[in-house]
Amino acid sequence: MACMAQVELRHASNISGDFFVDTTCIDCDLCRQIAPDSFSDIGDQSVVYHQPETSKQEFSALKALITCPTASIGSLRNRNAKAAVAAYPEAIDDNVYFCGFASESSYGASSYLIVRPEGNVLIDSPRFATPLVKRIEKMGGVRLMFLTHRDDVADHEKWAAHFGAERILHRDDISRSTSGVERAVTGRDAVELDQDLLAIPTPGHTRGHTVLLYRDRYLFSGDHLWWSAAYNSLNASQSVCWYSWSEQTRSMEQLLDYQFEWVLPGHGRRVHLSSSLMREQLESCVTRMRRQSRVAS
Ligand code: SF4
Q: How many helices (H) and strands (E) does the chain have?
A: 7, 19
Categorize the per-residue pLDDT at 3 as very low, low, confident or very high, splitting at 50, 70 and 90: very low
CA of 27 from ligand 1 middle (Å) equals 5
If you take atom 1 of ligand 1, which residue's CA is the nearest one?
A: 68
Q: For the chain, state the CA radius of gyration.
A: 19
* Paired residues of 41 in beta bridges: 46
Q: Does the beta carbon of 31 lie inside 6 Å of ligand 1? A: yes
If you take atom 8 of ligand 1, which residue's CA is the nearest one?
A: 25
**pLDDT over 70 (residue 1):** no
The pLDDT assigned to 295 comes to 74
CA of 16 from ligand 1 middle (Å) equals 18
Atom of ligand 1 nearest to the CA of 30: 1
Sequence-ordered list of residues with C-beta below 8 angstroms from that of 281, at least 6 positions apart, any chain? 233, 234, 273
Q: Does the beta carbon of 102 lie inside 6 Å of ligand 1? A: no
Q: Does the beta carbon of 73 lie inside 6 Å of ligand 1? A: yes
- Element holding 136 (H helix, E strand): helix 130-138
CA of 101 from ligand 1 middle (Å) equals 12
User: Mind listing the pLDDT tens digit for each residue in 225-272?
Assistant: 999 999 999 999 999 999 999 999 999 999 999 999 999 999 999 999
Q: Note whether 96 and 139 are within 8 A (CB).
A: no
Categorize the per-residue pLDDT at 297 as very low, low, confident or very high, splitting at 50, 70 and 90: low
If you take atom 4 of ligand 1, which residue's CA is the nearest one?
A: 28
Q: Note whether 228 and 71 are within 8 A (CB).
A: no
**pLDDT over 50 (residue 158):** yes
Q: Does the beta carbon of 75 lie inside 6 Å of ligand 1? A: no
The pLDDT assigned to 32 comes to 98
CA of 60 from ligand 1 middle (Å) equals 13
Residue 273's CB is within 10 A of a number of other CB atoms, namely 17
User: Mind listing the pLDDT tens digit for each residue in 87-125?
Assistant: 999 999 999 999 999 999 999 999 999 999 999 999 999
User: Mind listing the pLDDT tens digit for each residue in 163-184?
Assistant: 999 999 999 999 999 999 999 9
Of 65, 57, 97, 100, nearest to 81 (Cα)? 65
If you take atom 2 of ligand 1, which residue's CA is the nearest one?
A: 68
Q: Does the beta carbon of 21 lie inside 6 Å of ligand 1? A: yes
CA of 28 from ligand 1 middle (Å) equals 5
Categorize the per-residue pLDDT at 2 as very low, low, confident or very high, splitting at 50, 70 and 90: very low
Sequence-ordered list of residues with C-beta below 8 angstroms from that of 48, at least 6 positions apart, any chain? 14, 15, 17, 19, 20, 21, 38, 39, 61
What average pLDDT does the structure give for the chain? 96
